[in-house]
Amino acid sequence: MFTALTASEAMFDLVRAVAENVGGTNMVTTVLEHPSAYDPMVLYADRLGKELRIARSNPVTGGVDVEEIIRLVDKDTCLLNVMFASNISGAIFDLEAIVAKARAIKPDLFILVDAVQHAPHGVMDLKKTPVDAITFAPYKFFGSRGSGIAWLSERMAVLPHHKLAAKPVRRAD
């Protein structure tokens, strides 16, 4: 788990960790993303000289079609950042298909998910959607403001990140 003061702050750190440390010349996201994910994608793509690819929304469904995202992913994709449910249209993304099809193109692709809107309403089954990080915010489900939480995969947790040099990469349980 990774904690921050907001889900947005957590997402900025997650995008930075992947963008700075994982190979690949492009980064993929969607036009529907909340600024919490969209803005760090713009920031780090620009800062690191990577191409930012943005999937368009479907004006009929209010979502983003799986194929519209997948056509942007290739073996040079460093990071896919896609939300679970839109705070604007309410559309729920077919995350299971997106993850499966994206990993069919690049098996070790890093995938980050903004689940701030979805987490209060739906189950996130990591066996079906084995992503690398999921952000959520307790205040969206009757918690208090002032914290943003991210669940991290094992490999995400050990990417270089801000920590004291003498501390272990992983906290001893």
Ligand X SMILES: Cc1ncc(COP(=O)(O)O)c(C=O)c1O
Residues that bind ligand X (CB under 6 A): 6-8, 34, 36, 83, 87, 114, 116-117, 137, 148
Kindly tell me which of 9 and 20 has the beta carbon lying closer to ligand X: 9
Instruction: State whether residue 141 is helix, strand or coil.
Output: helix
Least distance (Å) from ligand X to the CB of residue 156? 18
Could you please report the per-residue DSSP string of 5-21? SSHHHHHHHHHHHHHHH
- Taking the complex as a whole, the smallest distance from the CB of residue 38 to ligand X amounts, in Å, to 10
Quick check: helix, strand or coil at residue 25? coil
Closer to ligand X by CB, 6 or 89: give it: 6
- The nearest distance, CB 91 to ligand X, in angstroms, is 11
Q: How far is the CB of 41 from ligand X (least distance, A)?
A: 13
Residue 120 or 153 having the CB closest to ligand X: 120
CA dihedral for 85, 36, 69, 129, sign (positive or negative): negative
Task: Give the Cα separation of 12 and 65 in Å (integer).
Answer: 25
